[in-house]
Structure 1
């Protein structure tokens, strides 16, 4: 039963704007947090990363440079919302989790679209693996257990979510573990 450790990248340097698929840098200056997280991760057989600079830099600063990078692990594409200041993002009003999962910003993809590219990548894992990716990637993995309710999970920067997979059966060991 492989253990899949999903690590959200370190804080994005976005200038208060939605990053999504934009390739922005990460703040990797908190050595204590990186040291703590490296110990918490322990031993893994491989590290797979989104090709986003913020993910690769996070993995490298943990001393776990990616063995592989996968475009499937990129964050959700927010289309016309990408690069917008957070305060200027449209208010969608009250949406059910199912409606939110289907919502697609103009020129982007929905959570369901993103999950459809992320989940097959996770199904390929056969050994203990660290995945360094994005909040959306973590929520896509969690959706294997809780469905659309995964959109309600907080996924802090440099937080760890641990899952196990036995064939097609997923279980959640921990969510949103952060350091000191």
Structure 2
């Protein structure tokens, strides 16, 4: 079973952390969208986070009809939601295991978010494309590398490809963007 994970297009968030905020996506780069659609190829079954930015990205790529799955929402950053990136607290150096369990006040940790995303992936039986968030992609990557998945860069409108075999999950590609086409 092949799993393709597409992060939504660039969020229109005015330099602020969106997380659970339902912001729009910038779907104006028709060349990048055409290249990404070619990279995706046969999408198989399409599952989409219900977030506006994900739905807009799927629509711009003509990936409907899609199934909407609330468990694929981005991590809830609690009191950090809507803050400018430069105003977020500096957590200093944290080991991946420690960072994965860190929970911003009123929010959820990466482990909390992964605990709702991974059951969705476990249920998949056919080739699937998921249109979701950077956190969703990292949760999937954690199936192979654990909390070290937090170190992966996941650009807007990027594709990550994994394959489930009888031995478990394997990563084929991470963070492919239209420039890689």
State the number of aligned residues.
179
Question: Structure 2 matches for 1:38-117, cutoff 5 A?
Answer: 38-117=37-116
Q: Which 5+ residue runs of structure 2 have no aligned equivalent?
A: none
Aligned counterpart, 1:159: 158
Give how far 1:65 is off: 1.9
Gaps of 5+ in 1: none
TM-score (norm 1): 0.97
Alignment partner, residue 175 of structure 1: 174
- Bigger mean CA deviation after superposition, 58-67 or 35-44: 58-67
Residue 118 of structure 1 corresponds to 117
Confirm or deny: 8 A CA contact 1:49 1:66 kept in the other structure.
no
Aligned residue for 2:35? 36
Q: 2:167, 2:52 → 1: CA distance? A: 31
In angstroms, what is the RMSD of aligned CA positions?
A: 0.9
Distance 1:66 1:107 in 2: 34
Other-structure match for 2:14: 15
Give the Å deviation of 1:105: 0.2
Question: How much does 1:46 deviate?
Answer: 1.3
Determine the C-alpha separation between the residues in 2 that align with 1:143 and 1:178.
21
Q: Secondary structure at the match of 2:169?
A: strand
- Trace 1:141-156 onto structure 2 (pairs within 5 A): 141-156=140-155
State the secondary structure of the residue aligned to 2:79: helix
- Identify if the C-alpha distance between structure 1 residues 149 and 70 changes in structure 2 by more than 3 Å, giving closer, same or farther: same
Give how far 1:166 is off: 2.2
The change in CA–CA distance for 1:66 and 1:6 in structure 2 (over 3 A counts) is farther
